[in-house]
Structure 1
Amino acid sequence: MISRRALLGFFTLSCMPCHLRAAWIDSKLLQQRVDALELPELKDRLPTNPRVVNLQSMGRLSGQHGGRMRMLIGRQKDIRYIPIYSYSRLVGYNEQLQLVPDILASFHVEKGRIFTFQIRDGHKWSDGSPFTAEDFLYYWEHVILNREILRGGPPVRLKANGKLAKFQVLDRLTVRYSWDNPMPQFLSMLAAPIPQTLMLPANYMKQFHGAFQSENLLQEMCQRFRVDDWVGLHRKMSRQNRPENPELPTLEAWRPRTLPPSEQFIFERNPYFHRVDENGRQLPYIDRIELNVSSAEIISAKTATGESDLQASGIALPDYTLIKEAENRFPLKVSLWKLTRGSSVALFPNLNCKDPGWKKMFQDVRVRRAMSLAINRHEINQVIYYGLAKESADTVLPESPLYRPEYAAAWAQHDPEQANRLLDEAGFDQRDRQGKRLLPDGRPINITIESAGESTLETDVLELITDHFRQIGIALFVRNSQRDIFRSRILAGDVMMSVWQGLDNGLPSADMPPRQLAPTSNDQLQWPLWGLHHMSAHTQGQAADLPKVQELSQLLNRWMLTTSSEQRSEIWQNMLSIHADQVYTIGTVNGGLQPVARSSRLRNVPEEGLYGFEPTSYMGVYMPDTFWFDEG
């Protein structure tokens, strides 16, 4: 017979929140430190309301702690992949690309312009110090508003209609950002692969700030870390997106333990990470990540010999057969995910080229259309992508709600005859004895296309395009360099044309900002100086002087003031239409496939997925902290 007291106790327990009912489960690695009195118990390390990840509802298996995960990188700077893969964000995308609170306990939006953030009670940085509103206040008052650190003033991205937000601390766990006008892009900025920073660990960072540290100690640290002043010191010690400082507290799943330079970078589990699975087991499952620096050219070969437990960067579709055949010899598996880029390989005529002759040529839409029409995309698809990609201009993918077939087809059919007519109409009708077209000043149209030298896929595609361009009287020469040199030459105007991937986010919704379609950043290879002009609040670079580009900027400004998804969708369609018609970037194929290789013991890695910088943060939305090794 069940007593009344027992019955009441049963109902009481069944109604309690899962985080109160669950017995928290620590990793063996950290439990050893708890037993040695080096760490508090797990219940004292977790927030009182941790984020519970229900793996069963995601169609995955709850896992076990332990193990090291090896990955290969082509250069030391690629340690920046870890904060992207780890994907701990104040607000982040889930697998369905819906925004959900992650580090935050909750967020509330009023009128599209007032954002209230609730911090998890008891949440701590990786060093055990409290994570509170003080960390947001420090960043706002002593970084955002500090003219020594930000000489150009607060970032343009944090302004709505030219006005900076009002920041408030409501209590130790609640902060608010308010604008006079709508700020529809704010949450998506926080969910980005490289998110807008809003907070820093104040207790740690104050020692490097001129407002809190003595001048003598700052000078000593500047000498030790080889920087010119405390501003450079503060910047170097606070880099969250390039985890080169093992002492910087983090909220990510894994914390860096290696100082550069090194051939191997170690990341260990964050003892204070805020996520648990439905059984109360703290995430991440995997204790340790090892990034091994390798020559980029042999990453695929090393992957095929089982030297990586999870690999997508540094390998591409041409490597798939090699890795697939290796499944019979090594404990690995390889899957094919769909790339989210607007084009797997795209050409970027530099509309800001400092050579007047090339600049005038590339700014003529007839020339850009002609170069696009010259490309035989069907041949590229069959020869390079085994017919598995979709021949298309550089635009959004069919899976995007903003997709229209006419955008993909715009100036993307193979028509050398029309291409030749357009070039003649544009005034490039003179040729030399070999049939090569000439600029008005008599120079042959020999286009040097520059590459960061990181992709054999680009090289293979360019080899075919070189033949295609020859049919319209244009000679193409490829110059490979390194990414830093590549970027600096483009910004200096020394590059005629470059090759890169197309639109970073080929899967946008109307509520994601259309920044990639207008000049907004100096990273945009087709108009770096116009992008710099925007991001510097018109203090650097050059103002766009093409009417259609100016219209794109005006449409982007209108999007920033919208209050409904319907308004945003209409603006997106206008911008996509202009982008397709004006051919600022020249796409080849999209919907390509990305090999994702993994150890055969690694669980919870999806068999199919979307892979790209945006919006999935490569594989970040699939939560690598839930991947685990099956030792059975």
Structure 2
Amino acid sequence: MITRRQALALLAGTMMPKTVLGAYVDSAYLSDNAAGTSLPPLAERLPRNPRVIRLGGDNGTRIGKHGGTLRMLIGGQRDIRYIPIISYSRLLGYNEKLELEPDLLERFEVEDERIFTFHLREGHRWSDGSLFTSEDFRYVWEDMFLNKDLYRGGIPSSLIINGTKPRFEVLDTLTVRYSWDVPNPDFLTDIASPSPLRLMMPAAYLKQFHRKYQTPEKLKELIAKARVEDWKSLHQMQSRTVRPENPDLPTLDAWRNMTAPPSGRFVFERNPYYHRVDEEGRQLPYIDKVYLDVSSSDLIAAKTGTGESDLQFTNLDFADYTFLKNAEERYPIKVDLWRRIQGSRTALFPNLNCKDPVWNRLWRDVRVRRALSLAINRHEINMAVFFGLAKESANTILPKSPLFKPQYRNAWAHHDPEQANRLLDEAGLDKRGPGDIRLLPDGRPARVIVEVNGENSNETDILELIHDHWMDVGIKIFVRTSQRELLRRRVKGGEAMMTVFHGLDNGVPTADMSPEELAPTSDDQMQWPLWGLHAYSGGSDGKPVDMPEAIRLAALLDEWRLSKSSSERETIWHHMLELYTDQVFTIGTVNETLQPVVHARSLRNVPQDGLYGYDPMSYLGVYRPDTFWYDKDA
């Protein structure tokens, strides 16, 4: 039986054109040799079957023109990572409807959610002109994943299913296969993510840094030149893709970095071997160069408002909107508002693993968690902080998700201080002390220290309101600001009793996306860091889950991972969402808040209304910035 995912893959493969689109159109930046490099003709640089991006459809995009330099502002050198995220070149990736489709791959097949066969595009090349073939996958599997120097723990844990690694096969120069004995529905979503599971690397380039392929004498020379300790450090430094700091590392992205750090400006130049074209045969990206100018994070909004950025989405928040909108009258910029996809713009995380035995017991009492949620006046937060433009909600998925149900949004999220007081009394907090503050079972006043990283002014504003809401039910909060890494250490160490951060990363999931955020899976989950660490480490660290409802969520996640159909996965998703929201493991406030996205007035194909978030949107990635172009007639 062909699954929905199989049908999608096969359909996407058959819809790709099998013949050349007439004459391909090169950018003058390359065809006039403006880059100072001798290149083959465009037809020889493209795959035999390039990916065709069709524009001019219902989404309002238009076929564009080559040329121009895009300026963006970043808050530090590490933020060059945004280019591979928004370039969004993946083996397969999401479109605007959050459907998976082949990208770097020409096509793929999936059998029983266990066997994944990937077909590459003939003639596809890395940015240095070397061929992209199955050898690039074999190199990663054999010479990186299975090399104890480079991967001490062996292949990535996301590839281990029920303690068993997959079988990897090279079927021919353009075909590879990964197969498991049980389903692995996470596999394709891992590949399509903003920071994807990296199954392939430019082997022809990286072999010079590998002990297996390089002479000891030359390797020693390269190690000394790079000022690192050993060949492992050398290989890791030269192969870094999350932050593409090595200008010599070949890429498959739309733009390649031309600047080695440190620098105040990073220049990214069009990839002459990029695999996408528009329907008239113009090679993408339309824009030839991208400048990333390093600035103080605090000044980026002001600089954007004076026209110093042609495309800005980072280091902006809703609080900047009024200033930016007023700047439209003075500078050639356009300010749009996209919807953030987080499950809650600001959420509170009671630490179920905190060391304080009294608070630990209270946090595990669902009546306390529900009471604190009911005590919050979300309408006041929405009006005071977001001018009524957000949606009052628990920390859960958004209406844009096909899995959405109003009951998840409304679970214990209405303002009912009378019921909140009753639940707190029932939980044993029925005695009051000075200032009408409730007393804990050991006689201490019920004072909650809420820890924040201080990076978001909205959190401070919201906590001031929640302070008053909780005082009305006899709970007093104090806010402690800590540096992010210190805060995470305090949470994992059980020293922090409650923290504040945004809610679910992915508020627009489909049934085929993993529900792992709803179960203990990572030590980054501040409501149960030790349980998450135990799951993430395979039981070698942290503590096993000892709460029935969280155990049930973990079991449901295991069922999802073994499921064989979208309908099964959808059913499991709903069971998890119902349990997660009813138990109020995290306390949401509002979601669907607005995110300013600013661009030059002459920049085309930037959506006016978009969904903004890291996963699965890759910020702007699913909207294909390689199709953005400058309209010189604007």
Q: Would you call these one fold, judging by a TM-score over 0.5?
A: yes
Sequence identity, in percent?
58
User: For residue 32 of structure 1, what is the amino acid of its counterpart?
Assistant: D
> 2:551 aligns to what SS in structure 1?
helix
- Contact 1:73–1:296 (8 Å) recurs in 2: yes
Q: Mean Cα displacement is larger for which, 194-203 or 535-544?
A: 535-544
- The residue aligned with 1:27 is 27
- Report 1:417-456 matches (<5 A): 417-456=418-457
Q: CA deviation at 1:36?
A: 5.8
Q: CA deviation at 1:18?
A: 7.8
CA distance in 1: counterparts of 2:108 and 2:53, whole angstroms: 18
- Superimposed CA distance per residue, residues 53-72 of structure 1 (whole angstroms, 9 cap, x where no aligned partner): 11123531111112111122
> 1:255 aligns to what SS in structure 2?
strand
User: For residue 155 of structure 2, what is the amino acid of its counterpart?
Assistant: P
- The residue aligned with 2:574 is 573
User: For residue 205 of structure 2, what is the amino acid of its counterpart?
Assistant: Y
Q: CA deviation at 1:27?
A: 1.4
- Contact 1:348–1:586 (8 Å) recurs in 2: yes
Q: CA deviation at 1:607?
A: 1.1
Q: CA deviation at 1:224?
A: 4.8
- The residue aligned with 1:603 is 604
- The residue aligned with 1:412 is 413
- Report 1:210-359 matches (<5 A): 210-215=211-216, 217-219=218-220, 221-222=222-223, 224-225=225-226, 227-359=228-360
36 and 195 in structure 1: CA distance in 2 versus 1, 3 angstrom threshold: closer
- Contact 1:316–1:457 (8 Å) recurs in 2: no
- The residue aligned with 1:375 is 376
User: For residue 547 of structure 2, what is the amino acid of its counterpart?
Assistant: L
Q: CA deviation at 1:217?
A: 4.7
* Structure 1 position 501 matched with structure 2 position 502: yes
- Superimposed CA distance per residue, residues 329-353 of structure 1 (whole angstroms, 9 cap, x where no aligned partner): 1101111112211112111222223
- The residue aligned with 2:7 is none
- Contact 1:339–1:611 (8 Å) recurs in 2: yes
- The residue aligned with 2:184 is 183
- Contact 1:156–1:162 (8 Å) recurs in 2: no
Q: CA deviation at 1:489?
A: 3.8
CA distance in 2: counterparts of 1:546 and 1:221, whole angstroms: 53
How many residue pairs are counted as aligned between the two chains? Answer: 617
- Superimposed CA distance per residue, residues 403-454 of structure 1 (whole angstroms, 9 cap, x where no aligned partner): 1111111111112232233233333344442333344444444333233333
CA distance in 2: counterparts of 1:224 and 1:538, whole angstroms: 41
- Superimposed CA distance per residue, residues 574-617 of structure 1 (whole angstroms, 9 cap, x where no aligned partner): 10011011111111111222111111010000111111112211
User: For residue 86 of structure 2, what is the amino acid of its counterpart?
Assistant: Y
- The residue aligned with 2:89 is 88
**Structure 1: unaligned runs, 5 residues or longer:** 1-15
390 and 163 in structure 1: CA distance in 2 versus 1, 3 angstrom threshold: same
- The residue aligned with 2:362 is 361
CA distance in 1: counterparts of 2:260 and 2:484, whole angstroms: 22
* Structure 1 position 625 matched with structure 2 position 607: no
CA distance in 2: counterparts of 1:233 and 1:482, whole angstroms: 31
Q: CA deviation at 1:133?
A: 0.3
User: For residue 261 of structure 1, what is the amino acid of its counterpart?
Assistant: P
Q: CA deviation at 1:102?
A: 0.2
- Report 1:513-524 matches (<5 A): 513-524=514-525
If the length of structure 2 is used for normalisation, what is the TM-score?
A: 0.92
Q: CA deviation at 1:97?
A: 1.0
Q: CA deviation at 1:297?
A: 2.6
CA distance in 1: counterparts of 2:346 and 2:379, whole angstroms: 14
- Contact 1:79–1:242 (8 Å) recurs in 2: yes
CA distance in 1: counterparts of 2:535 and 2:614, whole angstroms: 22
- Contact 2:311–2:600 (8 Å) recurs in 1: yes
- Superimposed CA distance per residue, residues 545-564 of structure 1 (whole angstroms, 9 cap, x where no aligned partner): 11111111111111111111
- Superimposed CA distance per residue, residues 499-519 of structure 1 (whole angstroms, 9 cap, x where no aligned partner): 222111111111111111111
> 1:88 aligns to what SS in structure 2?
coil
**Structure 2: unaligned runs, 5 residues or longer:** 1-15
Q: Mean Cα displacement is larger for which, 211-220 or 403-412?
A: 211-220
CA distance in 1: counterparts of 2:528 and 2:227, whole angstroms: 34
- The residue aligned with 1:3 is none
268 and 528 in structure 1: CA distance in 2 versus 1, 3 angstrom threshold: farther
User: For residue 567 of structure 1, what is the amino acid of its counterpart?
Assistant: E
- Superimposed CA distance per residue, residues 83-117 of structure 1 (whole angstroms, 9 cap, x where no aligned partner): 11111110001111111000101101112211110
- Superimposed CA distance per residue, residues 190-232 of structure 1 (whole angstroms, 9 cap, x where no aligned partner): 1111111111111222233333334555455455545444333
193 and 104 in structure 1: CA distance in 2 versus 1, 3 angstrom threshold: same
- The residue aligned with 1:42 is 42
User: For residue 324 of structure 1, what is the amino acid of its counterpart?
Assistant: K
Q: Mean Cα displacement is larger for which, 414-423 or 276-285?
A: 414-423
> 2:141 aligns to what SS in structure 1?
helix
- Contact 2:46–2:125 (8 Å) recurs in 1: yes
Q: CA deviation at 1:522?
A: 2.2
- Contact 1:381–1:391 (8 Å) recurs in 2: yes
* Structure 1 position 394 matched with structure 2 position 405: no
> 1:168 aligns to what SS in structure 2?
strand
Q: CA deviation at 1:402?
A: 1.2
208 and 492 in structure 1: CA distance in 2 versus 1, 3 angstrom threshold: farther
262 and 497 in structure 1: CA distance in 2 versus 1, 3 angstrom threshold: farther
CA distance in 2: counterparts of 1:31 and 1:210, whole angstroms: 39
- Contact 2:254–2:284 (8 Å) recurs in 1: yes
CA distance in 1: counterparts of 2:78 and 2:498, whole angstroms: 25
162 and 551 in structure 1: CA distance in 2 versus 1, 3 angstrom threshold: same
Q: CA deviation at 1:488?
A: 3.9
54 and 496 in structure 1: CA distance in 2 versus 1, 3 angstrom threshold: same
- The residue aligned with 1:62 is 63
- Contact 1:152–1:536 (8 Å) recurs in 2: no
- Superimposed CA distance per residue, residues 454-503 of structure 1 (whole angstroms, 9 cap, x where no aligned partner): 32222222221222222223332333344444434433434322222211
Q: Mean Cα displacement is larger for which, 378-387 or 19-28?
A: 19-28
- Superimposed CA distance per residue, residues 30-85 of structure 1 (whole angstroms, 9 cap, x where no aligned partner): 12338966222222211111111111235311111121111222233222222111
- Contact 1:193–1:615 (8 Å) recurs in 2: yes
388 and 252 in structure 1: CA distance in 2 versus 1, 3 angstrom threshold: same
- Superimposed CA distance per residue, residues 227-279 of structure 1 (whole angstroms, 9 cap, x where no aligned partner): 44433333332221222222221111111222333333222211111111111
> 1:117 aligns to what SS in structure 2?
strand
- The residue aligned with 2:148 is 147
- Contact 2:522–2:536 (8 Å) recurs in 1: yes
CA distance in 2: counterparts of 1:438 and 1:287, whole angstroms: 65
If the length of structure 1 is used for normalisation, what is the TM-score?
A: 0.93
390 and 37 in structure 1: CA distance in 2 versus 1, 3 angstrom threshold: closer
152 and 205 in structure 1: CA distance in 2 versus 1, 3 angstrom threshold: same
CA distance in 1: counterparts of 2:470 and 2:238, whole angstroms: 48
CA distance in 2: counterparts of 1:327 and 1:383, whole angstroms: 25
User: For residue 279 of structure 2, what is the amino acid of its counterpart?
Assistant: E
- Report 1:578-589 matches (<5 A): 578-589=579-590
